[in-house]
Amino acid sequence: MLIGVTGNIGSGKSTFCKFLRLKGFKVINGDELAKSFLKKGHEVYDKVVKTFGEEILNGEGEIDKKKLGNLVFNNKEKLEELTAIIHPFVLETIEKLKKKKETIFFEAAVIVEYGWQEIFDAIVTVYAYRGQRLLRAAKKFGLKNAILRDRMQLPYAVKFKYTDYLICNTKNLLHLKEQSERLIEQVTE
C-alpha cells in the first residue's frame, strides 16, 4: 500500500512522518528524493544547470539548493520549469514504490497541486492553522520565503476533497503522536 502524506508548508508533515518511522514504517520524503536527483552526475543535474545557468552552482560545482530555491520560489514560471525537469523522475520512483508489497508513506506538500492523488492508495492530509504553519516555516525559510511558498500551495479546502485521513496538528506533539498511532491502526487493519 502506498500512502501519500500531504499538507501545506509548516503543517507538521515531517514530524508526523517521524512518528511513522518510529513505528517501523518506510517513509519517503518527496523533497529529499527530488534533491537527490540534483547531484552532479545525474541527468537532472545537467538539465537544471542548462536551464538555470551556472550561477546556481556552489564552489564545488554542485547545485546550491538555496540559490535554486530563491530563484524558483519567487517565480512561478521558473518553478514550473524546474518541476517539469524533476517530476518525471519522482513519478518513476513513486511507480516503483507502488509495486512493493509493504505499506510505504510518501511525504510531499504538492501531491494535489500536481494531480498525483490518483497514484496513491490513500491520502493523509496534515492540517494546521495558517498562523501556526507560517511561524513553523519561518524558522526554516524566513517569514518572507515561508509566505511566498505558502501562496504557491493550494488551499486546504481543495486538498480536503482528496483526503482519506485527516491529521489535525493544531495542538501539541503528544496529540500528533496519538493521531499517528490511530492512523496506523486504521491502515493496517
The pLDDT of residue 115: 95
pLDDT, tens digit (0-9, with 9 covering 90-100), for 84-136: 999 999 999 999 999 999 999 999 999 999 999 999 999 999 999 999 999 99
What is the pLDDT at residue 74?
81
pLDDT in the model for residue 73? 84
Query: What is the sign of the dihedral through the CA atoms of 180, 182, 187 and 189?
Result: positive
Residues 158-180: what's their mean pLDDT? 97
Stated pTM of the model: 0.93
10 is in an annotated binding site: yes
In order of their start, the domains of the chain are 2-187 (3.40.50.300)
Per-residue model confidence (pLDDT) at position 189: 79
Question: Any known ligand binding at 12?
Answer: yes
Q: Is 37 exposed, middle or buried (0-12, 13-18, 19+ CB in 10 A)?
A: buried
The answer on whether 7 is annotated among ligand-binding residues is: no
Determine the pLDDT at residue 72: 92
13 annotated to bind ligand: yes
Kindly state the percentage of the chain with pLDDT values over 70. Answer: 100
Average pLDDT of the chain? 95
C-alpha cell at 57: 552552482
Strand runs labelled E in the chain: 2-6, 26-29, 104-107, 122-127, 165-168
Does the annotation place 41 within a ligand binding site? Answer: no
36 assigned binding-site residue: no
CA gyration radius, the chain: 17
